[in-house]
C-alpha cells in the first residue's frame, strides 16, 4: 500500500531552475524545501512565533536539520520532470515590434543574469502539459497532526504567493496544484484549496487578511498567537508587516502580457523614486544621475533590495554596483517587493505585495564609499514602500509606447 501523497504541479510562468544551466533536472527537492522553509517562517511568525530561537525550533521540528539525529519528519520526492526550452529568443521575451514597444518589461524582470539580448540559460516554459509530481510522505507518530498541519500552511503559502527557481520575486517560476492522488491530504485539506485564488474578489480578501481563517482552520496546527507591531527582522505574513494590491490597469489576455505590464510598472516606479526629480527620457534613474554622479547622499532605491548594479548596454559592462557591508563583509538583501501574475476569471492581473521588515543592521554601510551614499533611515524606506503601494509618481500611461 502506498504511503505517499502525490500533488501534480503545473508550471504557470517561465521557471529558471538553479541547475538547468548545467543540463540537470530543473525541479529538485532541495530547492522546494528551501522555498517551503521561507514560507514556513512567514506563516509561523504570523501566528506569533517571532523569537528567532523558537522559530528555528519550530522549523527544525518539521523540516529537520543537518544534525543526524534530527531528520525531517516529512519526506519529499519529485517525479516526472517537465521539459526545458533552449530557444535563445523565445517570442515572449523578444521585442515583437520596436515601433510598438520602447521598453520590454519581461526582459527587465529577468535582469542581466538571465537576459542579455538573448536568453542566457534554459528554462521551463509554462503550459498545461508542463507538470511534475511532488510526492509527500507525511509525518506519523507523536505530534504528527500538528507537524503536518504546519507543513500544509507553508505549502499553501508557497503555492499562493511564491514559486520556484530564479527571479521568483519578479513573477517567474509560479506553480499551480492541478491534481492529487495517493494518500489523502491531512486534516480538511483538498488540493483545490492549495494555491492562488481565481477570483479577483478573493484576492481582495487576501490583501487585508493574507492567511484567511478558513485556511488556518484546515488543520490543528496549534499556533494561537499574533505578532506584535515592532518592525520584524524577517518576513511575516500578517498585517501590518505585509501589504498587497493589484497593479493598476485593466485585466490582460495572457501571462506574457502580465509579465510585460509588471516589468514596465516596476521600472516606471524605479525611474521616479524621488518625486521631485524630472523624469529622464533616456530612463536613467535619479539615483544614477544625482547620487552616483552627483552630490546627493539619498539612495531610496535601496528599499527595494541590495546590491543594485548599473549596466551599460552600449559598453556591454557593469558601470557600478552599490552593495551593503556589515562588519567588513559584503551582504545581500533581497527585495521585499514581490510581483505575481495571476489568472482570474476576469483575465490576467498582476498582484504585488511587500514585507515590512528591517532592511539592514544598524551599523551596515553602503559600498563603495566614494559615492557618499548613506543608509536610508526607516522613514525613507517606509515612504518609498508606501508610494509603491499607492501608485504615486508614476510615468504617463503611454510612456513606453513608440520611440519618440
Residues 149 and 261 grouped into a single domain:
no
Task: Tell me the C-alpha distance between 127 and 178, whole Å.
Answer: 12
Per-residue pLDDT of the chain (404 residues; tens, 9 = 90+): 669 999 999 999 999 986 555 557 899 999 999 999 999 999 999 999 999 999 999 999 999 987 777 889 999 999 889 999 999 999 999 876 544 556 789 999 998 889 988 999 999 999 999 999 999 999 999 999 999 999 999 999 999 999 999 999 999 999 999 999 999 999 999 999 999 999 999 999 999 999 999 999 998 999 999 998 888 888 999 999 999 999 988 899 999 999 999 998 898 887 765 555 455 555 567 777 778 888 888 788 889 999 988 776 666 666 778 899 999 899 999 999 999 999 999 999 999 999 999 888 888 888 887 778 888 887 788 888 998 998 776 666 666 664 43
Residues 207 and 291 both lie in one domain: no
The per-residue pLDDT for range 277-301, each reduced to its tens digit, is 455 555 567 777 778 888 888 788 8
C-alpha cell at 390: 499607492
Q: What is the pLDDT of residues 204-245, one digit of tens each?
A: 999 999 999 999 999 899 999 999 888 888 899 999 999 999
Cell digits of residue 279: 523624469
> Are both 12 and 149 inside the same structural domain?
yes
The pTM (predicted TM-score) of the whole model is: 0.92
Is 157 a domain residue? yes
Cα–Cα separations (whole angstroms), residue 29 to 11, 135, 161: 16, 10, 19
CA atoms lying within 13 Å on the CB side of residue 56? 5
Domain membership flag for residue 225? no
CB distance 403 to 99 below 8 Å: yes
**Cβ-proximal residues to 163 (8 Å cutoff; 6+ apart), any chain:** 13, 15, 35, 172, 173, 174, 175, 340
Q: What angle do CA 166, 172, 177 make, to 5 degrees?
A: 110
Q: Judge if 164 and 256 occupy the same domain.
A: no
Element holding 344 (H helix, E strand):
strand 337-344
Instruction: Evaluate whether residue 223 is within a structural domain.
Output: no
Answer yes or no: do 204 and 254 share one domain.
no
What's the pLDDT score for residue 24?
A: 76
* Integer Cα distance of 70 and 55 in angstroms: 16
Backbone angles phi, psi at 321, to 5 degrees: -140, 120
Are 152 and 55 in a shared domain? yes
Count of domains for the chain: 2
250 vs 325, 341, 350, 363, CA distance in Å? 42, 13, 10, 44
In a domain, 101, yes or no: no
Cross-strand bridge partners of residue 228: none
Task: Locate 53 and state its grid cell.
Answer: 530561537
- Please give the pLDDT value at position 135: 98
Say what the pLDDT of residue 403 is: 40
d(CA 379, CA 382): 5
Full domain range(s) for residue 66: 5-85+122-216
> Does residue 149 share a domain with residue 79?
yes
Residue 39, in any domain of the structure: yes
CA distance 210 to 269: 25
Confirm whether 396 is domain-assigned. Answer: no
CA distances to 48, 269, 337 from 389, rounded to whole Å, are 25, 10, 10
What does the alpha-carbon distance between residue 218 and residue 186 come to, in Å, rounded to a whole number?
A: 9
Amino acid at each position: 500500500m502506498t504511503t505517499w501523497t502525490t500533488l501534480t504541479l503545473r508550471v504557470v510562468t517561465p521557471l529558471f531552475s538553479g541547475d538547468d544551466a548545467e543540463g540537470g533536472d530543473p525541479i529538485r527537492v532541495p530547492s522546494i524545501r528551501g522555498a517551503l522553509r521561507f514560507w514556513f517562517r512567514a506563516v509561523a511568525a504570523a501566528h506569533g512565533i517571532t523569537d528567532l530561537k523558537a522559530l528555528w525550533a519550530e522549523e527544525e521540528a518539521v523540516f529537520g536539520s543537518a544534525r543526524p539525529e534530527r531528520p525531517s519528519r516529512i519526506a519529499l520526492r519529485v517525479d516526472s520532470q517537465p521539459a526545458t526550452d533552449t530557444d535563445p529568443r523565445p517570442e515572449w521575451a523578444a521585442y515583437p515590434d520596436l515601433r510598438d514597444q520602447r521598453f520590454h518589461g519581461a526582459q527587465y524582470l529577468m535582469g542581466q543574469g538571465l537576459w542579455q539580448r538573448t536568453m542566457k540559460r534554459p528554462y521551463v516554459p509554462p503550459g498545461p502539459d508542463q507538470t511534475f509530481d511532488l510526492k509527500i510522505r507525511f509525518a506519523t507518530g507523536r505530534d504528527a497532526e500538528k507537524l503536518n498541519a504546519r507543513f500544509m500552511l507553508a505549502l499553501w503559502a508557497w503555492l499562493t504567493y511564491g514559486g520556484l527557481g530564479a527571479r521568483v520575486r519578479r513573477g517567474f517560476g509560479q506553480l499551480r496544484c492541478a491534481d492529487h492522488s495517493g494518500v489523502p491530504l491531512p486534516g480538511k485539506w483538498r488540493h483545490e484549496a492549495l494555491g492562488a485564488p481565481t477570483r479577483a474578489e478573493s484576492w481582495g480578501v487576501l490583501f487585508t487578511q493574507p492567511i484567511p481563517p478558513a485556511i488556518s482552520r484546515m488543520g490543528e496546527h496549534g499556533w494561537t498567537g499574533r505578532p506584535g507591531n515592532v518592525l520584524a527582522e524577517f518576513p511575516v505574513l500578517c498585517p501590518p508587516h505585509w501589504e498587497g494590491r493589484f497593479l493598476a490597469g485593466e485585466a490582460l489576455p495572457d501571462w506574457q502580457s502580465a509579465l510585460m505590464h509588471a516589468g514596465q510598472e516596476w521600472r516606471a516606479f524605479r525611474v521616479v523614486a524621488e518625486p521631485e526629480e524630472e523624469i529622464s527620457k533616456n530612463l536613467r534613474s535619479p539615483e544614477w544621475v544625482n547620487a552616483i554622479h552627483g552630490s546627493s547622499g539619498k539612495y531610496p532605491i535601496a528599499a527595494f533590495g541590495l546590491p543594485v548594479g548599473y549596466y551599460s548596454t552600449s559598453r556591454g559592462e557593469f558601470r557600478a554596483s552599490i552593495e551593503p557591508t556589515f562588519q567588513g563583509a559584503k551582504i545581500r538583501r533581497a527585495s521585499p517587493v514581490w510581483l505575481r501574475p495571476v489568472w482570474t476569471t476576469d483575465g490576467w492581473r498582476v498582484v504585488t505585495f511587500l514585507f515590512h521588515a528591517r532592511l539592514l543592521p544598524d551599523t551596515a554601510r553602503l559600498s563603495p564609499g566614494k559615492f557618499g551614499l548613506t543608509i536610508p533611515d526607516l522613514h525613507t524606506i517606509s515612504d518609498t514602500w508606501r508610494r509603491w503601494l499607492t501608485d504615486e509618481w508614476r510615468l504617463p500611461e503611454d510612456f513606453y509606447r513608440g520611440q519618440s
